[in-house]
Chain A
Amino acid sequence: MPRVRMRGITKHYGSIVANDRIDLDVARGSIHAIVGENGAGKTTLMRILYGLVVPDAGVIELDGRPVRIASPATAIRLGIGMVHQRFELIESLTALENLVLGRTPTRYALMFDREAALAAAREHAGRLGVAIDWDSPVAALGVGARQRLEIMRLLYTKADILIFDEPTSVLTPQEADELFVVLRRLSAEGRTILFISHKLREVFAVADRVTVLRRARVVWTGPTTATTPATLAALIVGERFEARASSRIAPIGEPILEVEGLTVADDHGTVRLRDANLTLHRAEIVGVAGLEGNGQRELVEALIGLRRPVRGSIRLAGRPVEGLDVRSRRRLGLAYISEDRDTEGACLPATLADNVVAVRHAEPPFARRGWRRTGAVNTLTRTVLERFGVEGGGPPTPARALSGGNLQRLVVGRELHEPPLVLVAAHPTRGVDVRGTDFIRRRLETTRDGGTAILLVSEELSELIELADRLVVLFDGRIVGTLSAREATPERLGALMTGLVA
């Protein structure tokens, strides 16, 4: 009898299916990997098991007993714990205080029983074979130590089903190896482990069984010994692509954006993009393929000026721009479609007019000597709304009143109504309806044909194959391959994206 059995789990978000009749069996003491592309439904499934999401249909059984997991509190009581990608630790408290938070041992019902807490802490650390400075504030601990602390917190709450959401995405390779040792010890103790991963190397290094999700459904499940990395990679990526009928009109032009040796770190100082070299030519779409979190965001942010690179150079039309701010780069002809529409692409509380004019609000004819020209702004806004088919409001409508698809049309319109030299487009059709998606893709093509160089980051391979003239693949912060659209088969892309070939 499996420790965890999920049957027919289904979850809809509006018209989108996140989980479609998913079945999953996890044996006691096994390490079970869940793999799949972004948006395949892995995280939703795990959140359902942890009680963060209530499924529309389906049953969950633990040791054969049906359970209803309505909240994480229920999940914890049933012995289920989850280590999130973002750790939930209080930085100003010590490791020990974090460990016992919420279940603090006390003396005389009032005082913190430090000795008892420390004894429990040492016991868990000893069993896992890890060392941790219990008196150090969490703020002073490294990422690996924080993660071990999170795991011990779960053990402290007596969890024996442990869910890890991409546990290695924040770790260095050595830290990841240490984590695997811990995972094996946990499994040897009879604890059941589920982990979401993007990296096949890890799956084969540590998991007993693997389940592949694609488009909200299970496409394969079985022991890791019964498959190969290459087979799994192809299963993850999925369908074959139609050979693309070339739609391009203009020939590819001269180099316009040249990136050399670009190395970029995230907010924590971890290097996420290493030594990237990349050249965009006029009238060219270069697609960036890769599973989420392999350096795409850092690349995009460094190009647009939102993140200062560690080193490397960026030249726009021959001019070095790596030292310039966002505004100066935009003035030189750089445009940007953010992956985060609601907080970065658009300003939801502001009007459509204020959204459209944002990047040029201080320039004539939209302002003169510091005074805004409402007439010109409204004319511009109406033009953009009309040309890009934005429905649901006029210049004074607040942006939050628009649907996601219409809002994205607005963002695309703002960035493209005057064709830029270079467009950096991150997931431009994410969460957009079918008609809107098609519209935006056609716009990208016509803009490209007008001479704009486009860097297109997308997690939809079909979109990349359809639009891009050339593809680069990012894995673990490196450009691991450059291929033409024709060369991009699911097998090759899957292998590159999951790090099987370097």
Chain B
Amino acid sequence: MSRSAIAEVAAGPSPAAALAGRALEVIAPFLIALAVGGLVLAVTGRDAIGTYGLLVEQSLGGAQAIANTLVAATPILFTGLATGVAFRTGVFNVGVEGSLYVGAFAAAWVGFSFTTLPGPLLVFLAVVSGGLAGVAWAAVPGALRAWWRVDEVVTTLMANYIAILFTSYLVNYWFLAPGVANSMSPLVAAQAQLSPLVGSTQLTLAFPIALVATFLYWVLFRATTVGYRLQIVGMSPRFATASGIHVARTIIVAMVISGLLGGLAGAFQILAVNHRFIANFSPGYGFTGIAVALLGRNSAPGILAAALFFGALANGGSMIQLFSDIPLDLINVVQGTVMIIAVIELRRLGRLVRARSHA
């Protein structure tokens, strides 16, 4: 929140002014990032306006383009929510990538192992297994943090590598698809592969389900006692303790929800897009989720907007290569700039909060 916005809230401003202030805060990082990206494009001798036009066209121009953007947004919407729920509780879980990997593997394993089950049941079991695997993965650092005060940034970050390498081992040594050279598991049963909602795209039920998860996230923090505790613990653990809220228990709840969403991200990516587990399949969905949560200020609408933005960038960026000589790296520059600006804003907010609590 900007300095003026805080002052306005304190003074009880008109709702319209507050809303405008908030809207500006949300949009500003995107605009600055696009400006910096444009500068990079211009310096490297490209037509910035034209490139952005092409980007918009490729990510939003027509049903096919929009569907692809939503497909790209789905996993990072899940991982953004997974990160957001932990961040709001004051737990810096950077291990969503790990939950995503174990969730993806569990879902794939169910999908290619129980091939005789009917479709809906098999999908259900695969999704539940994926979610639970994610929960189990996140619960360990959660418990370490809650009861023994082990720094979760270190444990969750390291657990990511374990998850990536362990699933890679599993697929290479135990579940390698016959006749495949790369590190891939067999395909999940045909009836477990989610079917497209639109034409020949990969847009499946996964995206609406991610929207439902976003809505539930909003409800959690808006209307439930669990969400209240998560938030209060995130704002002030000492206040929470003195008010009779169990901080350790609340931290574990946050990690369980975070792991669940991370596991679901992986499970749906397998069932909707990849249809099999492939070693190292994620281009950092879990880490992009951190940027999504930061940029979205951990709020449900913010995370949705940020996920769609990054989805559009990823989709438009990969398409743009096909139609122009602009390298994907430049799109990554824009994406990286947004992430940096998201973090800067957060720092500023943190400083402001500290300054105020000292006053």
Contacts and interface: CB of A to CB of B under 8 A. Distances in A.
Q: What's the dominant secondary structure at chain B's contact region?
A: helix
Given A347-B235, A350-B235, A358 B243 contact: yes
Interface of B: 9-10, 12, 223-226, 228-229, 231-232, 235-236, 238-246, 353, 356-357
Interface string A345-378: 1111110001000110110000100111010000
Given A348-B356, A358-B232, A371-B225, A401 B241 contact: no
B239 A346 contact: yes
Contacts of B245: 327, 358
A43 interface: no
Interface stretch (A196-204, A336-344, A454-462, A474-482): A336-344
Contacts of B356: 348, 400
A388 B343 CA distance: 41
A446 interface: no
A40 B311 CA distance: 60
A362 B236 CA distance: 18
A398 interface: yes
A448 B289 CA distance: 54
A354 B240 CA distance: 11
Nearest to A373: B223
Contacts, number: 84
18 contacts: A306-B241, A325-B244, A326-B242, A327-B245, A330-B244, A338-B242, A343-B357, A344-B238, A348-B235, A354-B231, A358-B245, A361-B225, A362-B225, A367-B225, A371-B224, A372-B224, A400-B357, A401-B10
Given A345-B242, A354-B231, 6 more contacts: A326-B241, A327-B244, A330-B244, A338-B242, A344-B239, A401-B9
B228 A354 contact: yes
A118 B225 CA distance: 58
B241 A358 contact: no
B239 A372 contact: no
A398 B231 CA distance: 14
Contacts of A348: 235-236, 353, 356-357
A349 B353 contact: yes
Nearest to A327: B244
Q: What's the dominant secondary structure at chain A's contact region?
A: mixed
B88 to A, nearest CB: 11
Counting chain A residues whose Cβ lies within 8 A of the other chain, the interface size class is 20 to 34
A321 to B, nearest CB: 13
Q: Identify the interface centre among B10, B241, B244: most chain A CB within 10 Å of its CB.
A: B244
Contact of A358 (B224, B226, B239): B239
A329 B223 CA distance: 26
B243 A397 contact: no
Closest 6 CB pairs of A and B: A327-B244, A358-B243, A401-B10, A347-B239, A326-B244, A347-B236
A303 to B, nearest CB: 12
A52 to B, nearest CB: 14
B235 A349 contact: yes
A358 B228 CA distance: 9
A304 interface: yes
Given A327-B246, A348-B356, A359-B244, A370 B225 contact: yes
Interface string A371-403: 110100000000000000000010001101100
Nearest to A330: B244
A398 B242 contact: no
Q: Identify the interface centre among B12, B223, B228, B241: most chain A CB within 10 Å of its CB.
A: B228
Contacts of B243: 326, 358-359
B223 A371 contact: yes
Contacts of B236: 343-344, 347-350
A372 B223 contact: yes
A348 B232 CA distance: 10
Contacts of A371: 223-225
